[in-house]
Chains A and B, each alone.
Chain A
């Protein structure tokens, strides 16, 4: 049976893992390669590196971080943040990423999704959507959540899938860093609209939140950062909990 995936996110700045609350007020959490090794031992299913403040000058530093994390990790590794064009994607993939995650660049240049899918396969192209509730719908935001777009999240997810995205990484900006639970209505709306896997992100605070987003949110995978980084909850314990709840996981 296909397992629900638990994904650890490493928000990296200047080679160090940081994690913000609602994208602001970052605090240090450690060495990315060291954290990735710990998660691997604990049974994480996948690792995402998000270079939250990536700039063009930071590309080389990013490649260094990817290499360090990828060296001993034999799990899917996704890299996002500052992937603006084919050159950035190629640099990340050459450094050891299996997937690249596009956010602002995909919104600015949707055909980029198709070009990367044709070159590396759809399984290598993740479209990340930062969603903010706006009445009874959600709007997509760009540039680490600082700029609003006019795009409806569900409609944009559908377009991204049609253009060749292999997965959607869906972050609720309203919940990110709050530890108050994933946005299940948002996740379910996107998951029902597309035939590709949806990774829920933003709001994980306790084990029950994961069970909720797999059931009510119909998520295929759930991503969290700080809940794992500060050792509040181990990946192993989370998976045992989900297994006990009858949710299929890789133990």
Chain B
């Protein structure tokens, strides 16, 4: 079960690699798009700026689409989830993968309900709301805490299977056919995070 962890220079992958190993995945870092052909599943991680996804050029997109055509699932983590959308106001000139509709936008500095100032980035453990069943959250309780660290967030979309709220309600996870994404860091979210990774792996055959 060979999983490609795409290293496009957006941060450190040690923790993701370690968590995937802990749930029994065999992970490799592809040298380039051509090296994706042996992947049973593809993970696009990422921290930091949406602009870093510029590295995921046409060749990468084609290689990932080719994997999807062969029933190989895709998981985006953090900026990797945001990349699944049309784009982000953080780097408007960089197009996203576009599987999900809508643009990612900056979290509000003011909490709309109370008018109180809130800190951005959103850092720490926040609760998940799970509006419907999904493969990713099988066995995960509604209201579970997961670890977030981000300033931009994805809007609610057709494929939204988990939301969280920080001033506004945003997409904490999507599941759209073979394409999934999580805004939080499953590799840093304790047993809940490991369960989400395990659940995603059940779709990798």
Question: A and B bound?
Answer: yes
What is A's interface to B at a CB cutoff of 8 Å?
1-5, 40, 45, 70-71, 74-76, 93-94, 96, 98, 120-124, 166-167, 195-197, 220-221, 250
B98 within 8 A of A: no
B68 within 8 A of A: no
Contact assessment for B119 and A75 in the assembled complex, using a CB-CB cutoff below 8 Å: no
Q: Contact string, B36-71, partner A, CB cutoff 8 A, digits 1/0?
A: 000000000001110000000000000000000000
Residue of A nearest to B191 (CB): A74
CB A98 to nearest CB in B, in angstroms, measures: 6
Q: Please pick, from A5, A74, A122, A123, the residue contacting B187 in the complex, using a CB distance under 8 A.
A: A74
B123 within 8 A of A: yes
Alpha-carbon distance A4/B49, docked complex (angstroms): 25
Contact assessment for B123 and A166 in the assembled complex, using a CB-CB cutoff below 8 Å: yes
List residues of chain A with CB within 8 A of the CB of B166: 2
Question: Which among B14-22, B26-34, B84-92, B130-138 touches the partner chain?
Answer: B14-22
CB A100 to nearest CB in B, in angstroms, measures: 11
Alpha-carbon distance A87/B178, docked complex (angstroms): 40
B149 within 8 A of A: yes
Q: Contact string, B1-31, partner A, CB cutoff 8 A, digits 1/0?
A: 0000000001110110011001000000000
Alpha-carbon distance A96/B19, docked complex (angstroms): 11
B190 within 8 A of A: yes
List residues of chain B with CB within 8 A of the CB of A196: 119, 121, 123
Interface size class of B (residues with CB under 8 A): 20 to 34
Contact assessment for A220 and B119 in the assembled complex, using a CB-CB cutoff below 8 Å: yes
Given the interface contacts A96-B18, A124-B47, A166-B121, does A1 sit within 8 Å of B127 by beta carbon? yes
What is B's interface to A at a CB cutoff of 8 Å?
10-12, 14-15, 18-19, 22, 47-49, 109, 119-127, 145, 147, 149, 165-166, 187-191, 193-194
CB B10 to nearest CB in A, in angstroms, measures: 8
Residue of B nearest to A248 (CB): B127
CB B195 to nearest CB in A, in angstroms, measures: 11
Alpha-carbon distance A155/B47, docked complex (angstroms): 28
List residues of chain A with CB within 8 A of the CB of B10: 121
Contact assessment for B190 and A94 in the assembled complex, using a CB-CB cutoff below 8 Å: no
Alpha-carbon distance A124/B13, docked complex (angstroms): 12
Q: Please pick, from A74, A120, A197, the residue contacting B123 in the complex, using a CB distance under 8 A.
A: A197
List residues of chain A with CB within 8 A of the CB of B121: 122-123, 166, 196-197
Alpha-carbon distance A1/B143, docked complex (angstroms): 9
Q: Please pick, from A76, A122, A124, A195, the residue contacting B119 in the complex, using a CB distance under 8 A.
A: A195
Contact assessment for B48 and A122 in the assembled complex, using a CB-CB cutoff below 8 Å: yes
Contact assessment for A166 and B149 in the assembled complex, using a CB-CB cutoff below 8 Å: yes
Contact assessment for A96 and B126 in the assembled complex, using a CB-CB cutoff below 8 Å: no
CB A51 to nearest CB in B, in angstroms, measures: 19
List residues of chain A with CB within 8 A of the CB of B189: 74
Alpha-carbon distance A123/B184, docked complex (angstroms): 13
Provide a sorted-by-A list of 24 A–B residue pairs whose CB atoms are within 8 angstroms. Answer: A1-B126, A1-B165, A3-B124, A3-B125, A3-B126, A70-B15, A71-B18, A74-B187, A74-B193, A74-B194, A76-B147, A98-B12, A98-B15, A121-B10, A121-B11, A121-B49, A124-B11, A166-B123, A196-B119, A197-B123, A220-B119, A220-B123, A220-B124, A250-B125
CB A240 to nearest CB in B, in angstroms, measures: 15
Closest 6 A/B residue pairs (Cβ):
A121-B48, A250-B145, A123-B149, A121-B47, A250-B125, A3-B125
Alpha-carbon distance A4/B48, docked complex (angstroms): 23
Residue of A nearest to B127 (CB): A1
List residues of chain A with CB within 8 A of the CB of B119: 195-197, 220
CB A55 to nearest CB in B, in angstroms, measures: 24
Residue of A nearest to B188 (CB): A76
